[in-house]
Amino acid sequence: MLSQVSSWRGDQYLDTGWVGPFFTLLLCVFILINIKRAGGAKDLFIRRIAGLNAIDEAVGRATEMGRPVLMVPGLSDSVNAIVVQALNIFSYVSRIAARFSNPILICCYSAPIFTVGQEVIRDVYNQEGLADKFDPDSVRYISDRQFAFAAGVSGLILREQAAATFFMGEFYAESLIFAETANSIGAIQIASSTEATQTPFFIAACDYVLIGDEFYAASAYLTRQPVLVGSLVGQDWCKLTVAFTIMIGLISNTVQLGPFKHTQLTEEKKDAKMKPLEKPRPASLNDTFMGNLFKKQSDPELKIERDMDPNFKPAEAPAEGGAG
């Protein structure tokens, strides 16, 4: 019984639970410091990303052929960070297409993405002084059923004979349907999926693929805005921190487990407390310092004594056989 535990020791910080929030905070600080640092800096280096260099070429080819550029911002249900990033890239594509008076088509999986997407693209045309050339139907809501959406987009690719296709965001099983359909009509394809399982399909079927965090580096690469480039440098710091932590874990686990013969344990950590073992056993990865650090244990005996609300009425259980 540990009823004296302070309210400042939140449930998520008990045992080694503090590691996650601390690590997140550290990564946030790295990113914010670098955004601040990059404010005045010019010409920070970003390595060449072939998929992003090919955007101008793809739109130019579509213009020459007089065929539309088709874009799909993934299958997210709501407008999340992935969708915002996809729409950022599509803004850049739409801007080039608007300058060349090239038709565009953006196929949306959910109504919130459609609404935001339409406003973002309208804004791009307004900024370019081409408001009259914006076709509200160029951003379309297709369906929020996965394979109905896949059928709809594939149909559009074939009927409109898109010259360039951009698939950016969250994709699942339908990724290959899109990519192979576009490939069958000879469209230039630039794709990126935040789902690691779908990246191989895009690599097999598309001309250019942004892998992993290249997707998030795209807006910094294309616009060179100091805030975005600074954020990218911050992401590199974060990756170095993660790599460093992995190296520390590798060394400490090797030392603790014993490089040639596993160490024998006489006590183990259970329910957030060290308890003696009945008989010694070889140490496993869960017993090491790093193993414990990233696996929070909760103490079932931990109880907090609080006053009861005198007006409290327990909620009634829902009636059996209610509306399904």
Partner 1 sequence: MGNFLLQAQPSLNFWNGENGSTGLWLKIGLALLAGIAMIFVLMQAPSQARRPIVMFVTFVSGLFYVLYYFWPRPVDRQPGELPRDFVETVSFYIDDAFGIVTDLSSVLSGLLLGLGIYSLLSVHLRRISRKQRDWGFSLVLLVSMFGMTGIGYWDWISRQGEAGIRLEDPNNWTRINYVKDMFFDGVLQNMDAAMFSIIAFYILSAAYRAFRVRSIEATILLVTALIVILSLMGAVEFLWNGAIDGITRNDANSFMNNLKLTEISKWLRDTVQGAAIRGIDFGVGIGALAMGLRIWLSLEKSGGKS
**What residues numbered 238-257 form the site for partner 1, per CB under 8 A?**
238-239, 242
45 near partner 1, judged by CB under 8 A: no
Cα gap 121→87, rounded to integer Å: 9
228 near partner 1, judged by CB under 8 A: yes
DSSP notation for 167-213: EEE---TTHHHHHHHHHHTT-EEEEEESSTTTHHHHHHH-SEE--TT
3-state secondary structure of 280: strand
Radius of gyration, CA atoms only, the chain: 26
DSSP notation for 214-264: HHHHHHHHHH--HHHHHHHHHHHHHHHHHHHHHHHHHHHHHHHH-SSSPPE
132 near partner 1, judged by CB under 8 A: no
Q: Which of 189, 234, 288, 291 binds partner 1 (CB under 8 A)?
A: 234
Q: Which of 26, 41, 50, 173 binds partner 1 (CB under 8 A)?
A: 173
Q: From residue 48 to residue 67, what is the string marking binding to partner 1 with x (rule CB under 8 A)? A: --------------------
Q: Which of 53, 66, 100, 155 binds partner 1 (CB under 8 A)?
A: 155
**For partner 1, which stretch binds (CB under 8 A), given 7-15, 43-51, 63-71, 289-297?**
7-15
Point out which residues pair with 176 in neighbouring strands.
none
Q: From residue 176 to residue 215, what is the string marking binding to partner 1 with x (rule CB under 8 A)? A: xx-xx-------------x-x--x-x-xxx-----xxx-x
Site for partner 1 in 304-323 (CB under 8 A): 304, 306-309, 312-316, 318-319, 321-323
Cα gap 20→28, rounded to integer Å: 12
Cα gap 268→234, rounded to integer Å: 38
Cα gap 43→36, rounded to integer Å: 15
- Closest approach, Cβ 287 to partner 1, in A, equals 21
Q: Which of 99, 145, 270, 273 binds partner 1 (CB under 8 A)?
A: 145
